[in-house]
Chains A and B, each alone.
Chain A
């Protein structure tokens, strides 16, 4: 298959990224139940192939190009204008790569303990669904993949999860399904209304976004239909309560994938289908989303502080972290949105790794209760050191990846959403509070009888962890290669939004540098007010 890749332009790399896992899943199902090692071997080969393809994609991605690359476009259902339209740009590139790399790691590194064959098949189906969602440039195609993702996840949680798995799986499924129902109505209506402008029925994202001109109120209604689906997926306060249950009950691999890539379908959806399709409506409603995002940051952090279950704590921290991403999205500056896109990857890496650690703790101690764990650093210093680095990344310590994303989001949002940013920045303090407190209770102190024989990090676990640590440090120290690829597409999106709404997408940052700019006098006046308030906080 890769032989055809000789002609880079011709080989449908994006289609292959979706097909290969599907074919792999079918092959896994065809193996004999008595020989689970074949299933494992096939799953590994397939996922490693996908990973190799995604790395190849990354390597041959044209950095300077802000449009969609490797586009693959075919007509699928002609009379309804539905097409197989795939493409990747700076916004989706790293999510695709992360999806490609995360699956082989969790397939190789985490053992489901029973029924490997269906487990592996569902994992590969999940990968195909997530890949498809990130690559689709057709509304209908996106919807199909967005829904396909739910099915394997439902079975993974329900089949290989923990004690409350059935409740959690059902809640997850129904909750997300309800959100998607709005989107289905929204996208069909969008295509139908857009056909007036375009002169034909089409579900093609680019055609609609560039060609259709929705009436103001229509655009707002349609935007909200999409936004509800994405808000559930993110999840945005107050639609988040499926997440702690799903995260806690999912098997480790499920949690890693859920945090790593699946939640990003929501934030990605906002960028690709919210801002791009309905710029006017997203600018108009920005204050709602900014407020919900900031509530999520503070609320998620406070709720995390009091969790007794380590996995639930990490789940609530996701609510807070995803709040930052939504804040950046609705700030409409290139720094903030670039930060959001980067933070999608960062959160996937650091929270994914945290879930790995929680999974390993559970395997060793058969408990996730913070109160039952103590003194682990004394027994397993390397294990503790690994956890520490991941935790510091999640807290947002400079030099590690989490900081870079958060910083870009906040510095970019400060100009266009000042007071939301101030509150969100305060949320940075809270992240240190709940994680360090949990770390102290679990790792510091003297271990009691139950924890005395806690095994040290195993070699295989170290191998699984290594790519996460490399990504954490590399992105923190030298994020330029990522930013260079993300930024052009973000810039294009920001320009698109600015051209179709009344927001000032290019704030003049240099009002007080060099020549004073008279036109910004009123802004300096507002500075004056803010100073007094800020001084009060000091």
Chain B
């Protein structure tokens, strides 16, 4: 069955091609259901492959399926090949499972859009690319998927392209990702130069065998980190993600929660033997990039008023956690958090979509409130997501975040402080969001806020096709922690560390490696601190935004994202533009000017010379005469002839 792993991308591709050729003939819901079905079929294949791998002995759980030779030139031999191993199949399972639910939600959300089938055309291509990304056997196949999701995100973010802001956001996402791609391309070149191949087996194999030099490994890891900061929206390249909220909400869920942004983290986990070989400052850089981004984005999320912007910055922050995990060697925890995050963040995004839908396209949380009475299912599921992301036990986010913090403390105290502060802020801003949207007084009733345009406006619950995925995701977000329970509180050992054991063939580093550290010996204390932070953050949010006991602190610098985006936009718009304009002017005036100058000079010389050709015989005779005299003078006087 694992040999049929190519079927996983094949079904979304088939869906894409069918919609491409017949899309216009598909009536509205049919195109959506068709695309959804393709994703679920693909998911079923992934499940089958999963059971096939489970049935094999651990060391055989890596199956390479080569479709054809893609780029064969001399020493460079790159195949179109897929790798079915615990890591890729884990990624496939949650990407496709959650992706399918998002598809289903989109059937309801995009109802009535004139470009309905085109939306599902793009979604199918997106899922196809994402499966290539995770299943790739070498860096180039991964890169094909990597760029594919980038291109699809460009198309999807600017889906409503008549809006200037949407078109700009799509372009920004593509170009920012391209900056990261620069790193991935160079990493591939370096890999080819040093190990003669871009396949993971060769690269990781040489790292394990000890033949890859630390210098090369460091360079490859840092270049891939650059790529990861682009795709996974980390500092310094996170700027595209908040703007990407211009896309339809299911797109935000798909891009942010389950799929595209996890690509960078996945890639770093995929090459974890290389990071292990690299110099010590390399994993530290990864951890610091993640930690600083996590804290940075969390502070911004505290002061956002757009319901989706809060979630966007929250995503940046949570991916920062995953990077932190990668940098501190907690690769399993990174994947674990990626999975739980995919569940609760997809839930939150789709929940916000449901709110926006029910509020007739209102996204400003200041104009919401008390919606739990009107949208009970959305509210209930959203609250599950909130508790999960805040890290309240026993919801899924608690377990994954706790594991990351454990590994972080084992590695570095300052990073742990950053991590725990971020966790506190996360609980706080999510509480703020939940209070502003679902509790308190109904601020959308106020006619002064300009809501009268909607007539007798009343928020409503979304249709079943939209709330059904919410319910499923809420269930997953609540219990998702069971896939990797910690060895705490007397949980029977058969039920703990399931994910770690499953991923062991790919990721050697595990909890056993931090045994004996200060952090590991005090893990109950860490759990207590984490729970205290979650509860503290929630309480603080409750006091500020529901009880109004404390004044909210929302400095402008937070609301404006530390002016980082503004600075970049200014830079691109002013000096950047001037350089380009300067080159264009230089070309028109100096380079081409020189060419025209030569032409003009030739013409001027020619026209001057032409004046001598007067046609008067006497003038010619005079010139000849003068010449003869001069020549004679020269011969006679100077040379002394005669």
Please report A residues at the B interface, Cβ cutoff 8 Å.
171, 174-175, 237-238, 240-242, 299, 302-303, 305-307, 333-335, 338-339, 375, 377-378, 392, 397-399, 403-404, 407-408, 410-412, 414-415, 421-422, 425-426, 428-429, 432-433, 436-437, 440, 443-446, 478-480, 483-484, 487, 491, 507, 509-516, 524, 527-528, 530-531, 534-535, 537-538
Q: Please give, as numbers and ranges, the residues of chain B lying within 8 Å of A421 by CB-CB distance.
A: 189
Q: Tell whether, in the assembled complex, residue B223 and residue A515 are in contact, meaning their CB atoms are under 8 Å apart.
A: no
Give the distance to chain B from A335, nearest Cβ to Cβ, in Å: 5
Q: Is the CB of A305 within 8 A of B580?
A: yes
Residues of A within 8 A of B44 (CB): none
Instruction: Give which listed residue, B75, B140, B151, B229, contacts A392 with CB less than 8 A.
Output: B151
Known: A241-B587, A299-B583, A306-B580. A432 touches B178 (CB 8 A): yes
Cβ of A530: which chain B residues have Cβ within 8 Å of it?
219
Q: Are A513 and B211 in contact (CB under 8 A)?
A: yes
Task: Please state if A512 and B226 are interface contacts (CB–CB under 8 Å).
Answer: no
Closest B residue, CB atoms, query A388 = B155
Residue of B nearest to A480 (CB): B69
Contacts of A444 in B (CB 8 A): 158, 161-162, 164, 167
Given A407-B71, A411-B188, A511-B194: A440 and B592 within 8 A (CB)?
Answer: no
Chain B residues with CB under 8 A of A398: 140, 143-144, 147-148
Q: B69: which A residues are within 8 A, CB to CB?
A: 480
Assembled-state Cα–Cα distance A427/B189 (Å):
16
Interchain CB contact under 8 A, A411 and B192: yes
Q: A514-B206, A534-B222 known; 9 other A-B pairs, CB under 8 Å?
A: A306-B580, A421-B189, A436-B154, A440-B167, A444-B164, A513-B194, A516-B211, A524-B213, A537-B226
Give the residue name and chain of the A residue nearest to B279 (CB).
Answer: A531
Contacts of A478 in B (CB 8 A): 68, 70
A174 to B596 Cα, complex, angstroms: 12
Asked whether any CB of chain A lies closer than 8 Å to the CB of B171, the reply is: yes
Chain B residues, CB < 8 A from A241: 587, 591-592, 595
Report if A512-B151 is in contact (Cβ < 8 Å); known contacts: A404-B71, A428-B178: no
User: Contact: B181 with A428, CB < 8 Å?
Assistant: yes
Whether B226 contacts A436 by the Cβ 8 Å rule is no
Complex Cα gap A334–B71 (Å): 13
* A378: chain B residues within 8 A (beta carbon): 161-162
Chain B residue total in the interface (Cβ 8 A): 70
Contact A510 B196 (CB under 8 A): yes
Inter-chain contacts of B151 with A (CB < 8 A): 392, 397
Contact with A along B50-91 (1 / 0, CB 8 A): 000000000000000000111111111000000000000000
Chain A residues, Cβ within 8 Å of B400? none
Q: Which residue of A lies closest to B197 (CB)?
A: A513
Q: Is B584 among interface residues, defined by CB-CB distance under 8 A?
A: yes
Residue pair B215, A425 in contact (C-beta under 8 Å): no
Return B1 CB to nearest CB of chain A, in Å: 26
Q: Which residues of B contact A483 (CB under 8 A)?
A: 71-73
| Chain B proximity of A497: nearest CB distance (Å) | 15
Is A306 a contact partner of B581 (Cβ separation < 8 A)?
yes
Chain A CB within 8 A of B508 CB? no
B126 CB, min distance to chain A CBs, angstroms? 13
CA distance A162 to B197 in the complex (A): 50
Q: Report, nearest first, the 4 A-B pairs whose CB atoms are least far apart.
A: A509-B196, A414-B189, A444-B167, A306-B584
Cβ–Cβ contact B171 & A491, under 8 A: no
B70 touching A527, Cβ below 8 Å: no
A414 touches B225 (CB 8 A): no
Chain B interface residues (CB < 8 Å from chain A): 68-76, 140, 143-144, 147-148, 151, 154, 158, 161-162, 164, 167-168, 171, 174-175, 178-179, 181-183, 185-186, 188-190, 192-197, 202, 205-206, 209, 211-213, 215-216, 218-219, 222-223, 225-226, 229, 285, 577, 579-581, 583-584, 587, 591-592, 594-595, 599
Given contacts A303-B583, A538-B183, contact A479 B71 (CB under 8 A): yes
**A445, B164: Cβ atoms under 8 Å?**
yes
Q: A411, B213: Cβ atoms under 8 Å?
A: no
Contact A509:B68 (CB < 8 A) given known A241-B595, A299-B583: no
- Note all chain A residues with C-beta closer than 8 A to B209: 514
Which residues of the partner chain B approach A535 to less than 8 Å between Cβ atoms? Answer: 218-219, 222, 285
A514 to B584, Cβ gap below 8 A?
A: no
A-B contact pairs, 13 of them (CB 8 A): A174-B599, A305-B584, A377-B161, A398-B144, A407-B71, A437-B171, A478-B68, A478-B70, A507-B193, A509-B193, A530-B219, A535-B222, A538-B226
Decide: A512 and B206 in contact? CB cutoff 8 A: yes
In Å, the complex CA distance between A426 and B182 comes to 6
A511 to B186 Cα, complex, angstroms: 18
Report the minimum CB–CB distance from B586 to chain A (whole Å).
8
Decide: A428 near B182, CB < 8 A? Known: A241-B591, A512-B212. Answer: yes
In whole Å, how far is B308's beta carbon from the nearest beta carbon of chain A? 21
Report yes or no: B73 in contact with A534, Cβ–Cβ below 8 A: no
Residues of chain B contacted by A513 (CB below 8 angstroms): 194-197, 202, 205-206, 211
Whether B175 pairs with A436 at a CB distance below 8 angstroms is yes
Residues of A with C-beta under 8 A to B194:
509, 511-513, 527
Whether A375 and B175, one on each chain, are in contact in the complex, defined by CB atoms closer than 8 angstroms, is: no
- Asked if A534 contacts B223 (CB within 8 A), the reply is yes
* A480 pairs with B162, CB closer than 8 A: no
| Neighbour of A509 across the interface among B75, B147, B175, B219, CB < 8 A | B75
B223 / chain A contacts, CB cutoff of 8 Å: 534, 538
Instruction: Report the nearest A residue to B594, measured CB to CB.
Output: A238
Residues of A within 8 A of B174 (CB): 432, 436
Q: Is the CB of B168 within 8 A of A440?
A: yes
CB distance from B34 to the nearest CB of A (A): 20
Select the residue from A303, A398, A491, A524 with max chain B CB neighbours within 10 A.
A398
Q: Which residue of A lies closest to B225 (CB)?
A: A538
Write the chain B residue with the least CB distance to A434: B580
Decide: A422 and B595 in contact? CB cutoff 8 A. Answer: no
B189 proximity list for chain A (CB < 8 A): 410-411, 414, 421, 425
Enumerate chain B residues within 8 angstroms of A534, measured Cβ to Cβ: 186, 219, 222-223
Contact A479 B580 (CB under 8 A): no
Give complex CA distance A410, B209 in Å: 28
Which of B168, B193, B219: most chain A Cβ within 10 A?
B193
Alpha-carbon gap, A534 to B216, bound state (A): 11
Which residues on A sit within 8 Å (CB–CB) of B584?
Answer: 302-303, 305-307
Whether the Cβ atoms of A480 and B215 lie closer than 8 Å is no
Q: B residues within 8 A CB of A333? A: 74
Task: Assess whether A302 is in contact with B175, with CB atoms less than 8 Å apart.
Answer: no
Closest to B168 in A: A440
A421 to B188, CA, bound (A): 13
Residues of A within 8 A of B178 (CB): 428-429, 432
Interface pair A531/B215, CB less than 8 Å apart = yes
B178 → chain A, closest Cβ, in Å?
A: 5
Q: How far is the CA of A208 from the CA of B179 in the complex (A)?
A: 47
B211 and A512 form a contact (CB under 8 A):
yes
B171 x A445 contact (CB < 8 A): no
Residues on the A chain within 8 Å of B225, using CB = 538
**Docked pose: A410 CA to B198 CA in angstroms:** 14
Chain B residue with the shortest CB-CB distance to A305: B580
List the A side residues contacting B229 at CB < 8 Å.
538
**Closest chain B CB from A90 CB (angstroms):** 12
B196 to chain A, nearest CB (A): 4
Which residue in chain B gives the minimum CB-CB distance to A531?
B219
Question: Contact: A338 with B185, CB < 8 Å?
Answer: no
Closest CB in chain A relative to B403 CB, distance in Å: 27
Complex CA gap A408/B78 in Å reads 11
- Report the minimum CB–CB distance from A506 to chain B (whole Å): 8
Q: How far is the CA of A433 from the CA of B209 in the complex (A)?
A: 41
Closest chain B residue to A533, Cβ basis: B219
Q: Are A445 and B76 in contact (CB under 8 A)?
A: no
Q: In the assembled complex, which residues on chain A have CB atoms less than 8 Å from the CB atom of B195?
A: 509-510, 512-513
Return B422 CB to nearest CB of chain A, in Å.
Answer: 23
| A61 CA to B326 CA, complexed, in Å | 52
Chain A residue nearest to B160 in the complex (CB): A444
**Separation in Å of the B142 CB from the closest CB of chain A?**
10
B186's nearest neighbour on chain A, judged by CB, is A425
Residues of B within 8 A of A171 (CB): 595, 599
